[in-house]
Structures are given as structure tokens and as C-alpha cells.
Amino acid sequence: MSSVLRSDDKVTPLRTPERALVEFRGVEKRFFVDGSWNVAVEGVNLSIVQGQVVTLVGPSGCGKSTLLNMAAGMFRPSTGRVLYRAEDVVALNTRVGYMTQQDHLLPWRTVFNNIALPLEIKGLSRAAREQRVQELVHLVGLDGFERYYPSQVSGGMKKRCALARLLAYDPETLLMDEPFGALDAQMRLSLQVELLRISQQLGKTVLFVTHDLDEAIALAHRCVVFQGRPGHIADVIDVDLPVERDLVGLRFDTRYVQLTQQLWRLMAPEMAASATGGKQS
Amino acid sequence: MKLSVGTVYFWRITLVVVFLAVWQFSSGRLVSPLFISAPMNVMSRLWDLAASGKLVYHASYTAFHALAGFALGALAGTALGVILGRLQWLAHILDPFLMGFYSLPKIALAPLFILWFGVGTEMKVLFVALIVFLLVFLNTYTGVRQVSREQVTILRLMQASEAQILRKVVLPSAITWMFAGLRLSVPYALIGAIMGEMLASNRGLGYVLSDATAQFDTAGAFAGLVAIIAMAVVFNATVRVAERLVMPWKGVESERELSF
């Protein structure tokens, strides 16, 4: 049986336990909105070990993005601590790459030049840049759209462009806020495969916000379940699936099905009862 | 309703022809030529001016006053706009002074400019520069302030330096506003130059205009106006071409079909 872990439990079945890379300790964040304090998240304890893919799942407005923002150092928690490599995050955290919900592409740059941006900042030569960008363009399936401006391509393409830009800049930790939301099923699957491959091969740590419960299990080493409001961690599901995953075959894996059902039950107890009943028959 | 290019030009030319015909007809019949001259007379006066080389002589002075002032003002306006856009505390301190200065009718400063800089080229160039500066400054400042903080932050996360942020986000983002300021300033640059020339000069199209009216030479005055309009059209077209070259993505955005 899957163990429903408390967030501060040390068990990480996939890798030898190391010191936490990203750690939230008793984090609460309040925002001052229209003359009153609004608590976005409270009582969050969570530590993420290097190389782990952790998905954050839960309804809209339960503070998942707020946690990513704090990990990126956009703002500090109202109480508690946010640590990165055992140090408080007090300024912008340049070790993380952030793929936000809005793509934030630069409208005056073509798809190609948007992806090249982080490489320019790093000071790569033109030739090296072009080669790397071409690889990434191919990876996210934007071949033939290199010279288009963001205003000329679809929402899904913009997302892919933003993903390629994130990968171009190759940060230690990837913060991803619903990155695959606007994509079609095939593209989503191929990018999920790619994300898992990158995280495994390069040991990238990933914090991945999603609304998609299947995705939340399929990608995760651990799946953190949020409930609102104010947002808090309701549960942490330890996803004891093999590290090497076949994301297509996974759909028929009994353990995977069990875990997704568990998540469905947590997220929507009433609906899950009927839904899982149908699946099991 | 979307008109074809041909239709648009047909109606434009028709309008001009009708206007000229009515003008020619009324001159001497309905209104004294002393007031409105006549297209034929204006045309021949324009031809005389061109043939004698006076047109080029005067127009080149006006163009120089307008362009030099425009360049000076645009440069200063852009620079200060970027600086104040980035240094909020300074902008906050200077805000009331800049707005007060901006609301001042610039023509009111002309006599002082004559006092300070004499009646020569410097006076006109600086007068134009002042007018252009205010417009370009205000637009550039707004543009720099409008830069998306998210985009700036994303570049910071990529470990971009302040100079890189300025070059890769702030300036390209502000350039739309800058160009709006530049486009707005073109007619004002001409107004400034002509005004300066009318007030104190013995050359330039503004001088042609005031000299002609002083002698009740209505045809000469209209000839001057035609030359000024032609110059304004050329300047505007130049800015538009520059805009296209500097901001290719804008053309793409405006050509796009509207969609959600």
C-alpha cells in the first residue's frame, strides 16, 4: 500500500535521502487586499530533495503559485522560512528557472530569439546559440515556426516556446506553473516524457503545479495535495512507481491506477466514488 | 466597409480636383483674389520660387531647423525618459516641475529664447528641441514605466545584468511609446521651426510666409503653405518607414486578423 506521508517525513524511495534542496518550514503568506489580510497559504511544511519531481495539485486559489513565487524569491513568507540549499531565500533565487502561467515571452522577439535569450545572457557564441536553440525548437516541436513572432502563434505554441526557453537556460531547479495546460494530448505527453528524462538524466529538481490529477501522479515522485482556503497541504502521496516510467504504459499499471484513485478520492470524495467504481469493473 | 486601394485614391484625387476647381472658380468671382488668390497663381508662384532656387534655399533652412531641433530634442527626451523611468525616486521629486513645464504654452517662451539666443539658427533649433524634448520625454518615460515587471523579473532570474535588462527588455518595450512620441513631435518640430522663422528671421519657409503676407502677396503665402505641407508629409513618411524597420513585430501585429 502507498503510504500517505506527512510532508516532513524523510522517506524518498527513489533516491538516497539527501539534504533538502528546497524547504518550506511553517510557511504562511498573507496578502493585503482591499484593506484586509488574505491568507494565501498557511502551515506549509515541505522539503524537496535534489532530483525529485514534486507535483503540487489542488483547486485554483489555494496558494500553489504563491509557494513557487516564494521559492523563486519574488517575496518572502509572512511567517516561517523558505530555504534553498539550507539558506533563507531573501532575494531573487537565480538557481531556479520559472515557467509561469502566462508565458511572458518578449513580443518583439521571434520564437527563435525568445529561446535564445537566456543563451545570450550567458554569453554563448552565436554559433553555439543557434545550434542549441535549433535542438530545443525541435524538442518542443516548433520546427518551421522559428521566425514567427509570439503574436502569430497559438497559445500552445507559446507555452512550448516558454518551455524551450526555460530548458535553454538550464537552471538547477525548475518551477513550473501549469506548463502543459494549453497543449493537446500528444504534445503534452511528449513534453511530459521529455521533462522526466531531463530531470532523471540531469538530476533536475522540479516543482510542478498542475490541475490535472493524472499528470500529478504520472510525473511525480511525490504528489502534494492542497486544499483551500486558506491553502494548506491536505496530504502528500508518495508515488512509488519506478523511476524509469513508460508514460503511455502507465495508464494500464495497477499501481498507477490505485494512486490516481487515491488522489481522486482526496480531491473529490463524492465524485471519485462513482468514477472509480466504473474504472474497477 | 473595406475600400480597395484604387477606390480610396480615386476619391482622394477627386476631392482635390473638386476643391481646386471650386477655389479657382470662386477666386475673383465670389471672393477677392487678395484674400484667397487662386490655384493657378499659387502654382506659378511656386514654380517661380522653385526655378529661382529660393524654394530650396528657404526650405533647406526650415528643414535644418526642424531636423536639428528634432534630433536634439528626441535624443535628450529619450535619455531623460529612460533615466527617470528607471529612477523612480528622482521622477517622484521632479514630477510637479515637469508637468508644470509641460503644460506651459511653449510659444510663450519664444520671446525669451530670442533674448537668450538671438535671432539666428541657435534660437530656432533650441526652440524646436524644447518642444520635441517634452513630447518625447513624456512618452519615453511612460513607456519605460509600462515595462512588464514580470518580464524584467524573468530576466533577473536568468541572471541578466542591469545593462542586459535595459537592452533586452526595457528599451524594446519602451520603443513603441518612444515612436509614438517621435511621430507626435514631427508636426510640432515644423511648427516650432516655422514659428521661430516667422518671429525673427530672414530665411526659411516661415520667413517666406510672413514676408509674403506683409506684402499682401497671397499667392506667395499659399505657395509657402504648400511647401510646408509637402515637407510635413515627407517627414511623417520617414518616421513611419523608420518605425517599420525598427519594430517589425508591430507590423506583424497590425496585419494579423483579429482573433481571441
User: Residue A42: which of A223, A175, A227 has the closest Cα?
Assistant: A227
Tell me, yes or no, whether B5 lies in a domain. Answer: no
Do residues B41 and B103 make contact, with C-beta atoms less than 8 angstroms apart?
Answer: no
Percent of chain A with pLDDT strictly greater than 70: 89
Tell me, yes or no, whether B23 lies in a domain. Answer: no
Does the pLDDT of residue A78 top 70, yes or no?
Answer: yes
Overall size of chain B counted in residues: 260
Overall size of chain A counted in residues: 281
- Do B168 and A97 make contact, defined as CB atoms within 8 angstroms? no
Chain B residues whose CB is inside 8 A of the A169 CB are: 158
pTM: 0.76
Tell me, yes or no, whether B197 lies in a domain. Answer: yes
User: What does the pLDDT read at residue A135?
Assistant: 92
User: What does the pLDDT read at residue A184?
Assistant: 84
A57 beta partners: A210, A225
pLDDT: which is higher, B94 or A271: B94
User: What does the pLDDT read at residue A16?
Assistant: 45
Chain A residues whose CB is inside 8 A of the B172 CB are: 106, 108-109
**Which among A121, A151, A171 has CB closest to B256?**
A151
Tens of pLDDT, residues B32-63: 988 889 999 999 999 999 999 999 999 999 99
- Do A92 and B150 make contact, defined as CB atoms within 8 angstroms? no
Do residues B74 and B182 make contact, with C-beta atoms less than 8 angstroms apart?
Answer: yes
H-helix segments, A123-154: 126-139
CA B196 – CA B193 distance, rounded (Å):
5
Other residues' Cβ atoms within 10 Å of the Cβ of residue A109: 19
Tell me, yes or no, whether B37 lies in a domain. Answer: no
CA A59 – CA A231 distance, rounded (Å):
9
Question: A29-33: long-range contacts at Cβ-Cβ below 8 A with a sequence spacing of 24 or more?
Answer: A29/A63, A29/A66, A29/A70, A29/A75, A29/A77, A29/A78, A30/A78
List b or e across B65-76, with b for residues whose CB sees 16 or more CB atoms inside 10 angstroms.
Answer: bbbbbbebbbeb
Tens of pLDDT, residues B163-183: 999 999 999 988 888 888 888
- Do A120 and B252 make contact, defined as CB atoms within 8 angstroms? no
**B158 — contact with chain A (CB < 8 Å)?**
yes
Angle of helix B218-246 relative to helix B171-199, nearest 10 degrees, comes to 170
Q: Residue A18's pLDDT band (boundaries 50, 70, 90)?
A: low
Strands A232-238 and A4-5: antiparallel
Percent of chain B with pLDDT strictly greater than 70: 97
Chain A residues whose CB is inside 8 A of the B164 CB are: 120-121
User: What does the pLDDT read at residue B132?
Assistant: 93
Q: Residue A281's pLDDT band (boundaries 50, 70, 90)?
A: very low
Does the pLDDT of residue A4 top 80, yes or no?
Answer: no
Do residues B149 and B131 make contact, with C-beta atoms less than 8 angstroms apart?
Answer: no
Class of domain A4-95+171-280: alpha beta
Chain A residues whose CB is inside 8 A of the B249 CB are: 107-109, 149, 151
- Do A93 and B157 make contact, defined as CB atoms within 8 angstroms? yes
Decide: residue A270, CB within 10 A, 0-12 exposed, 13-18 middle, 19+ buried: exposed
Does the pLDDT of residue A132 top 80, yes or no?
Answer: yes
Tell me, yes or no, whether B234 lies in a domain. Answer: yes
Do residues A119 and A135 make contact, with C-beta atoms less than 8 angstroms apart?
Answer: no
Percent of chain B with pLDDT strictly greater than 90: 61
CB pairs under 8 A between A and B: 60
Tens of pLDDT, residues B71-85: 999 999 999 999 998
Tell me, yes or no, whether B89 lies in a domain. Answer: yes
User: What does the pLDDT read at residue A279?
Assistant: 42
What H or E segment, with its residue span, contains residue A49? strand A36-49
CA A163 – CA A103 distance, rounded (Å):
9
User: What does the pLDDT read at residue A228?
Assistant: 79
Q: Closest residue of B to A93, CA-based?
A: B157
Do residues A54 and A239 make contact, with C-beta atoms less than 8 angstroms apart?
Answer: no
ipTM: 0.79
Chain A residues whose CB is inside 8 A of the B255 CB are: none
Do residues B172 and A114 make contact, with C-beta atoms less than 8 angstroms apart?
Answer: no
Q: Residue A271's pLDDT band (boundaries 50, 70, 90)?
A: low
Choose from B147, B150, B157 for mutation: most chain A CBs within 10 A.
B157
**B159 — contact with chain A (CB < 8 Å)?**
yes
| Total count of domains within chain B | 1
In terms of phi and psi (left: phi > 0; alpha: psi -120 to 50; beta: otherwise), the region of A110 is beta
User: What does the pLDDT read at residue B176?
Assistant: 86
CATH number reported for the structural domain that contains residue B213 in this entry: 1.10.3720.10
The stretch A155-171 carries a mean pLDDT of 89
Q: Residue A54's pLDDT band (boundaries 50, 70, 90)?
A: very high
Strands A205-210 and A53-57: parallel
Q: Which residues contact A50 (CB under 8 A, 6 or more apart)?
A: A15, A18, A21, A203, A205
Residue reference for cell 513624456 = B138
Structural domain boundaries enclosing B107 = 45-247
CA B9 – CA B3 distance, rounded (Å):
10
Tell me, yes or no, whether B221 lies in a domain. Answer: yes
- Do A104 and B151 make contact, defined as CB atoms within 8 angstroms? yes
User: What does the pLDDT read at residue A270?
Assistant: 58
Tens of pLDDT, residues B224-247: 999 999 999 999 899 889 888 888
